[in-house]
Structure 1
Amino acid sequence: MGDIAKGVLGGAWTLLVGWILPTALNLAVFLLTVAPSLRDLGPLERLRGASGLGTGLTLLTGALLLGLVANACQNALYRLLEGYLLWPARAFEAGCRRSRGSRAFLADRLTVLRLERRRAEQGPLRTEDAEELARLLADPRLARAAGRDRRRTAVQRGLLRERFARFPIADDQIAPTRLGNAIRRFEEYGWDRYRLDTQLLWNELTGCVPDQIRRQSELARASVDFFVALLSGHVLVALAAALALAAGDKPDRIALLSTLVVLAALVPVWYRSAVTATDEWAAAVRALVNTGRKPLAASLGLALPQTLAAERAMWTMVSRLSRIPYHERAAALDPYRAEPATTDPA
């Protein structure tokens, strides 16, 4: 019974922090800054005449309901911010080209830093390394960036590596937005390392790992959910303020304009915070994949092979078996099946 209560409370906590709390903040901003301008709306007039306790209960109820709605719409919100939903084809392709260019430029900057550090520590570079360094520094834009990078501290250079790590490894996995790339990099982790399709086998994987590992993944995602819900609510409140401004001459026009400007300025801040928060989420998913492969194989009636190459072949067939209809070629998975458990006769 205690485990059930713990699971319920844990799920409620991630829902509260990830969706209900930011929704309450946005609702409070709306009621304080935009609602006073909407004097012709009956529900808001009744709320304005309610007591303090009634207003608080209304705010709490509204935050709960809207938070649950936002949680139900989270897939659409994420896909929109990742660049997969409602993006025109040209905008999607342009975003992917920009992301590939940003990743390539960061990779070149890190290569210059690595080669220059090697030259400083070990002396003259090998011919091919020296030629590569000269080729990279021949680019004026890269040379200017390298000059700035040389003045960076070790910590600041580490931040460059963090930025580069937020991109997927494969070119065909690049997304058009920073958040899309930051999420896609750990979605492809299991496939790149082990040929384990974690998107396809996510429920099986999370059902096998220890509770602590699964809980870490949920809490890490809650941080990203918080910023996604916060910026989404900011956009809606800003739109409401803009509509109120466009509706006519308002006595509190300055308050509406200030709200619109402040919220518009905060949206990119929360977006960047969401991108940064994916680092902890990525670490949790990496731990989940690394520690969950063996119990996942056991739960599927398979024995984890001794070699990494054989393991990658096994997970490729498991992923294919889960994704497409059964075919006789799936019998190639038989060598990886675990020996049936034997019971000692009494």
Structure 2
Amino acid sequence: MTGIFQSALTGGRALLVGWILPSLINVLIFGVIVTPKISSFDALDAEAARGAIFGLVVTAVVGLVLAALQTPLYRVLEGYLCWPKWLAHARRRRHLARKHLLRNRVDAAALALQDRTGSLAVADRSVLAAFRAHGVIGRYLDVDLHKGAVWLALLEERLHRYPVDDRQVAPTQLGNAIRRFEEYGYSRYRLDTQVLWHELNAAVGEPARKQTDDARMSVDFFVSLLFGHLIVIVAAAVGLATGTVVRPWLVVATIAVLLPLTLLWYRLAVVSTDEWAGAVRAMVNLGRHPLAAALGLTLPQGIDDERSMWLLVDDFVRTGFHPRLTTLDAYRTAPEGPEAGDASASTELAPPAS
């Protein structure tokens, strides 16, 4: 336990807040409501003290286990793991249709507002007419305009929780909210942050890394709380089935409360990804230059040239060297410093081999 608190004070705040604290909440719910006698949380004596110590140990273990399993836990919520293929495909099609509808609603509202102010271009009048004539978009358009600017901003916010590339759309809301910033570097610069994440994380400054870690911490908190609730619900259901619970009515009420709370935590996890997305976006935008320099490359002036360079780097890291990657030589930085000069001089002065 001492090591855990020491790690929290020396940089492990993300582990403490993201995984240990939610586990403590769930352990308390389980110990007080489901198994008060076993946990000794129903007494105020030495037995209760032992129960409290036991609860702290269980909290630490559960939090560390959940933190170690965070990748598969996230993949389940993102729709990549333990999902039947037919269900994943169906959910992906639904989210793709939802993304297109949001895109059309935002575009239609923007054109309608331009039409109201008299700034609508002639070429866009036919587009606005088509939106108004559409059975679904036309019905949404009047409602969206009536709700005002704040509602339109919320619609655009929901749209921005989807990846730009339709091929990257995931089966779940959380999957799409995370995928949008996972593909940000590639869609803008062809810098695949999934391949170069550790290099990028090492190249950027400490403020950018801390901002990203703090932003993810909020999402971790809700994900850990969600899975902890599910564990408590399953354990409570087993206790009801075996007749080991002391107050069945209270356990049933707890299950009834925790089930909708899991949906709330999921929704809050999706919303919390906005800060995470902004932090990753800043890391990509500000970290490209130091990353290129750390790799011994010079960032080109033109955006097309930069995209070509990052494609080559992605390929080099992902698949290894092959002859086509000699094109990367055009972006390599010339060696500098006395060591490079001495090396070149020694090469020039070296006698030819006999």
Same fold (TM over 0.5): yes
Secondary structure of 1:201's counterpart equals: helix
Name the CA distance, whole Å, in 2 between partners of 1:143 and 1:314.
44
Does the alignment pair 1:340 with 2:342?
Answer: no
What is aligned with 1:32? Answer: 32
Does the alignment pair 1:52 with 2:48?
Answer: yes
The one-letter code sitting in structure 1 at the alignment partner of 2:231 is: L
Residue 32 (structure 1) shift:
1.4
What is aligned with 1:16? Answer: 16
Residue 59 (structure 1) shift:
1.4
Residue 342 (structure 1) shift:
2.5
Give the one of 65, 76, 79 matched to 1:80: 76
Deviations 1:177-202 (A, max 9, x none): 00000000000000011110111111
Secondary structure of 1:78's counterpart equals: helix
Does the alignment pair 1:252 with 2:247?
Answer: yes
Give the one of 292, 295, 300 matched to 2:295: 300
What is aligned with 1:266? Answer: 261
The one-letter code sitting in structure 2 at the alignment partner of 1:14 is: A
Counterpart contact for 2:34–2:245, Cα < 8 Å: no
Does the alignment pair 1:112 with 2:124?
Answer: no
TM-score, normalization by structure 1: 0.91
The one-letter code sitting in structure 2 at the alignment partner of 1:291 is: L
Name the CA distance, whole Å, in 2 between partners of 1:203 and 1:251.
50
What is aligned with 1:322? Answer: 317
Residue 144 (structure 1) shift:
2.8
Give the one of 207, 224, 243 matched to 1:229: 224
Residue 10 (structure 1) shift:
5.3
Deviations 1:71-103 (A, max 9, x none): 000000000000000111101100100110110
Give the one of 64, 71, 84 matched to 1:68: 64
Residue 249 (structure 1) shift:
8.9
Secondary structure of 1:175's counterpart equals: coil
Deviations 1:48-72 (A, max 9, x none): 6753322222111111111000000
| CA RMSD between the two structures | 2.1
In structure 2, relative to structure 1, the CA distance for the partners of 1:123 and 1:250 (3 Å cut) is same
The one-letter code sitting in structure 2 at the alignment partner of 1:103 is: K
Does the alignment pair 1:243 with 2:234?
Answer: no
Name the CA distance, whole Å, in 2 between partners of 1:45 and 1:313.
61
Deviates more, 1:134-143 or 1:150-159: 134-143
Residue 129 (structure 1) shift:
2.1
Name the CA distance, whole Å, in 1 between partners of 2:93 and 2:105.
18
Secondary structure of 2:194's counterpart equals: coil
- Deviating 4+ runs (over 3 angstroms): 6-11, 45-50, 248-251
- In structure 2, runs of 5+ residues without a counterpart are 1-5, 343-354
Residue 153 (structure 1) shift:
2.9
TM-score, normalization by structure 2: 0.89
Residue 252 (structure 1) shift:
1.7
**Number of residue-to-residue matches in the alignment:** 334
In structure 2, relative to structure 1, the CA distance for the partners of 1:225 and 1:331 (3 Å cut) is same
Secondary structure of 1:196's counterpart equals: coil
Does the alignment pair 1:283 with 2:278?
Answer: yes
Does the alignment pair 1:168 with 2:139?
Answer: no
